[in-house]
Chain A
Amino acid sequence: MSRLRPIAVIARFVLLEARRSGLPWLAVACIAASVGVALFLSQVALTETREFQAAAAAVLLRFSGAFLIATYVVTSVARETGDRGLELALTLPISRLTYYAGKLAGFACCGALLAMAFAMPLLLWSPPAAVAMWCASLAMETALVAAMALFFSMALSVVPAFAATAGLYLLGRSISAIQAIAAEPLAEKGESALRGAMDAFAVLVPRLDSATRTEWLIYGSATPTDFLAALGGSAIYFAVVVAAGLFDFSRRNL
């Protein structure tokens, strides 16, 4: 209990900072833009209008959620580093672990709130059960992005930290397709080493293509197994990134 309270206090300050930095307005703008684009695309679609709207809005909102949380984490950590806030916080009677956990909890809460807000417009086109699954998966995904951004921004400056976070995220979303290309018949002609290397590399990357799937919304096809597998995969990678971040943060001389 004594350790949880400082974590909760730090997390609360992170949420307060998010509110004051205009993140809620950005989220509203993203929702408006996504719904607008979805409505526009549905006007030019010849068929499957509902599916088109749901898919367009879901894709844009998912990208927006990941982008907003990554940007917010990187800029927040950069600002705190510039203000010497980290050194100040560590002069207080809290451990590095508590500080890191508090920050991460705050960022993850921001991500969860974004996910909930972003799921609301999808109720226009998809059944509530499918939207609830999508929302829970997006909350987990944004928590993972926040953990990646926190890890990189603690170690790197702003631009490299953002680039590394975005790169790992996009790689996680496309690694399955890259593996499929590497496994195509043309690639098999003497390229088995490349294929093996790609498979080995894929082990190190989060499988974000199986999380927060648009097909859940438009075909209502999510099974509990799919859902739990997506959530579980993200949770395992989240634990890895958090452990790596704590490892790095514990060793570093400030």
Chain B
Amino acid sequence: MSASARPLSSVPRWVALLLAAGFAAQFGWQVLRITPESQTLDLPPAPSAAMLRSASLGEPEFAARIAMLYLQSFDLRGDNAIPYQQLDYGRLVAWLRAIVETDPRSGYALFSAARIYADNPDALKCRAVLEFLRDAFERDPDRLWPWLVHAALVAKHRLRDLPLALRYARAVDQRARDPRAPLWAKQMEIFILEDMNELEAARIMLGGLIASGKVRDPNELQFLQKRLESLERKSERASRPDLPSSISRRTPI
């Protein structure tokens, strides 16, 4: 206690009692407060990107990330009984779109969409997220191609929707010009065509790729040559069903 303070006895007793009672009441209230039962809350309608930007007071990067944490909280927080799979995906995708528009360079919303929200047994909901990734890719194909490659893989292996996977793979091949994009990502279209039994188209594409000279790695070139030969054999057998079919299976992507 500082020397300038008056002794404790100068405080009226009722004031001291009021202080102690206040503390006790606060402590008791907080301890005895019943934990709220888990609620079943769905997402509210998404705000527009302009609204998010306006509320951010000139900090759209931070606002976008806080909005992502808010979205995350609908699945991860303790008092909500609705797991993300059961959320209204129309609203969820609208939130993701607003967030991406608020900070187009952040990968948070795309990461969550691809790795979390697309992982939904409901095929319709999964497709909604994949379409969101497809739309986002259109904004900046050279940077966002990995997310569309992921979408193509989800469409192919989880949804087993080869035409959808082909559409995404084709978009990556045609739109992404990023030199860091590995060739396997750009070759996905060929493998999906092969899976769709579009052997002739796959053979032409693969032959074109080899002839273009874009593949410089000798091992990769050798691998693709073998694939081309295998495709040609498959094609030939398909056109002549009398030949025995001993086609080696290719390594899955």
Contact = CB atoms under 8 A, between A and B. Distances in A.
Interface of B: 48, 50-51, 53-59, 61-62, 65, 68-69, 72, 76, 105-108, 111-112, 116
Residue of A59, A62, A170, A176 ringed by the most chain B CB atoms within 10 A? A59
Given A59-B59, A184-B50, A219 B105 contact: yes
Interface string A30-48: 0000000000010011111
B58 A176 contact: yes
Interface residues of A, number: 29
Given A51-B106, A55-B62, A56-B62, A45 B69 contact: yes
Nearest to A183: B50
9 contacts: A44-B69, A44-B72, A45-B68, A47-B111, A47-B112, A55-B62, A173-B57, A177-B53, A181-B51
Nearest to A177: B54
User: From DSSP, what is the main secondary structure of chain A's interface residues?
Assistant: helix
A214 B116 CA distance: 27
Nearest to B49: A180
Contacts of A181: 50-51, 54
A197 interface: no
A174 interface: yes
CB-CB nearest 7 A-B residue pairs: A209-B58, A177-B54, A173-B58, A177-B53, A173-B57, A55-B62, A59-B62
A64 to B, nearest CB: 13
B65 A45 contact: yes
Most chain B CB neighbours (cut-off 10 Å) among A45, A52, A221: A52
A218 B106 CA distance: 10
A178 B62 contact: no
A184 B53 CA distance: 13
Contacts, number: 73
Given A44-B72, A47-B107, A174 B65 contact: no
A221 B54 CA distance: 22
Given A55-B65, A56-B62, A177-B50, A46 B111 contact: yes
A209 to B, nearest CB: 3
Contacts of A170: 57
A215 B105 CA distance: 9
Nearest to B110: A47
Interface of A: 41, 44-48, 51-52, 55-56, 58-59, 62, 170, 173-174, 176-178, 180-181, 184, 208-209, 214-215, 218-219, 221
A235 B214 CA distance: 52
Contacts of A173: 57-59
Contact of B108 (A46, A58, A174): A46
B72 A46 contact: yes
Given A48-B106, A48-B107, A174 B54 contact: yes
A56 B58 CA distance: 13
B60 to A, nearest CB: 8
Contacts of B105: 215, 219, 221
B61 A55 contact: yes
Nearest to A62: B59
B75 to A, nearest CB: 11
A180 B56 CA distance: 13
Contacts of A219: 105
Contacts of B58: 173-174, 176-177, 208-209
Contact of B61 (A41, A44, A184, A218): A218
B64 to A, nearest CB: 9
B54 A214 contact: no
Given A51-B65, A55-B59, 16 more contacts: A45-B68, A45-B69, A45-B108, A47-B112, A48-B106, A48-B107, A51-B106, A58-B62, A173-B57, A173-B58, A176-B53, A177-B50, A177-B55, A184-B50, A209-B58, A218-B61
B54 A178 contact: yes
A181 B54 CA distance: 8
A215 B63 CA distance: 12
* Most A C-beta atoms less than 10 A away, residue of B48, B50, B55, B72: B50
Given A173-B58, A177-B50, A46 B112 contact: yes
A245 B68 CA distance: 43
Contacts of A180: 50, 53-54
A126 B57 CA distance: 22
A215 B61 CA distance: 7
